[in-house]
Amino acid sequence: MGLIEVADSIKSMEIRGAGLIARSAAEALKRQAQEYRGDDLGEFRQQLNEGRRTLIDSRPTAISLWNAVQITMRGSSSAKDVEELRELIAANADAFVQRSGRAVEMIGRIGSKRLRSGMTVLTHCNSKAALGVIKAAHADGKDIKVYATESRPWRQGLLTVRDLSAAGVPSTLIIDSAVRWIMKEVDVVVVGADTICSNGALINKIGTSQVALAASEARVPFIVCAETYKFSPKTVHGELVEIEERDAGEVVNPRLIPADVRVRNPVFDATPAEHIDSIVTEVGLISPYAAYEVIVRELGQESIFEASEE
């Protein structure tokens, strides 16, 4: 798949999940670099920069995409010729993809320690990182049951229950509006992340903040699973995360409602740090209030500088 096709697939959500879009973007840049046939360094750089922009613009909310592209392009301004730049991009992309895979595995190991046998977990949408935690606990022989929300309008909950069923984890699908009613049977909520802000707020699939409110009210711990490349250096500069609004046709067939009725389809929302018990990252389980530290230590001052340049 060429870079434009990857960007289109991210936009149409054939490629989805904040981690997967990040890995796919890094690989798309690597392929674009490998396929460049000329020997003009300036032209090559320009093509890569255009590719970078196309990927970043494919979905606006998940910072994983921006971080992946930045990390893949890092050091490219000092390359002396086409070959050196090509090799740098390929090495950066490979390192990022490996890092991402290891991070999801590590999060599974760390997060699973918070799940005890006999627990009922509620998860929202379809997060590889969150499911990694649940499946790791199950693989450790713990008796875990899961409530999975449907996650309208895309119904990623169906992917979640299929994945859990294949792993042998008993799961029950519920509609999104059943969350507060079901919460009395839940011991812990485990969700993924599209972006973690420097103030510890979580940006994740629409409805996450309602799940967090219901969990907070019922004193059920709310755990977020996020690789460190899901933390946002842009938010350090006070930037607000753009919440993607998708086509209303994803929510309802326009022929079923009067023409004067407006339909909105925001696909992410923000959960403040106060409703988050902890964030499981590949470098450990942290308080949401340590988000700024994670940005500085794991993504580096360089990323904060790059974010200010955008």
- Cβ proximity to ligand RI2: between 26 and 129 the closer is 129
- Cβ proximity to ligand RI2: between 194 and 306 the closer is 194
128 binds ligand RI2, rule: CB under 6 A: yes
204 binds ligand RI2, rule: CB under 6 A: yes
Task: Give 189's contacts (C-beta < 8 A, 6+ positions apart).
Answer: 121, 122, 123, 124, 211, 212, 215, 220, 221, 222, 223
Element (H, E) at 106: helix 82-112
156 binds ligand RI2, rule: CB under 6 A: yes
Nearest to 121 by CA among 137, 142, 144, 143: 144
By CB under 6 A, the residues from 209 to 268 that bind ligand RI2 are 267
Contact yes or no for 203/289 (Cβ under 8 A): no
Count the site residues for ligand RI2 by CB under 6 A. 16
By CB under 6 A, the residues from 38 to 77 that bind ligand RI2 are none
129 binds ligand RI2, rule: CB under 6 A: yes
Q: Which residues are catalytic, by number?
A: 125, 194
Q: Of the ranges 15-23, 29-37, 43-51, 169-177, which one interacts with ligand RI2 (CB under 6 A)?
A: 15-23
**Rounded-to-integer distance, Cα 237 and Cα 234, Å:** 6
Which of 17, 51, 207, 233 is close enough to bind ligand RI2 by CB under 6 A? Answer: 17
Which of 6, 7, 18, 215 is close enough to bind ligand RI2 by CB under 6 A? Answer: 18
- Strands 145-149 and 171-174 come out as parallel
CA 283 from chain centre, in angstroms, equals 17
Residues present in the chain in total: 310
Q: Of the ranges 75-83, 88-96, 121-129, 135-143, which one interacts with ligand RI2 (CB under 6 A)?
A: 121-129
**How far is CA 139 from each of CA 62, 90, 136, 167, rounded to the nearest angstrom?**
29, 34, 5, 9
Q: What is the DSSP letter of 231?
A: B
The two three-digit tokens of residue 39, written as one number: 């020997």
CB of 26 to ligand RI2, least distance (A): 14
- Cβ proximity to ligand RI2: between 138 and 205 the closer is 205
**Rounded-to-integer distance, Cα 185 and Cα 121, Å:** 9
19 binds ligand RI2, rule: CB under 6 A: yes
23 binds ligand RI2, rule: CB under 6 A: no
Q: Of the ranges 13-21, 69-77, 234-242, 257-265, which one interacts with ligand RI2 (CB under 6 A)?
A: 13-21
Which of 3, 7, 16, 212 is close enough to bind ligand RI2 by CB under 6 A? Answer: 16
- Strands 195-196 and 202-205 come out as antiparallel
Which of 27, 150, 176, 194 is close enough to bind ligand RI2 by CB under 6 A? Answer: 194
**Rounded-to-integer distance, Cα 107 and Cα 80, Å:** 38
127 binds ligand RI2, rule: CB under 6 A: yes
User: What residue ranges bind ligand RI2 (CB under 6 A)?
Assistant: 16-19, 125, 127-129, 156, 191-194, 204-205, 267
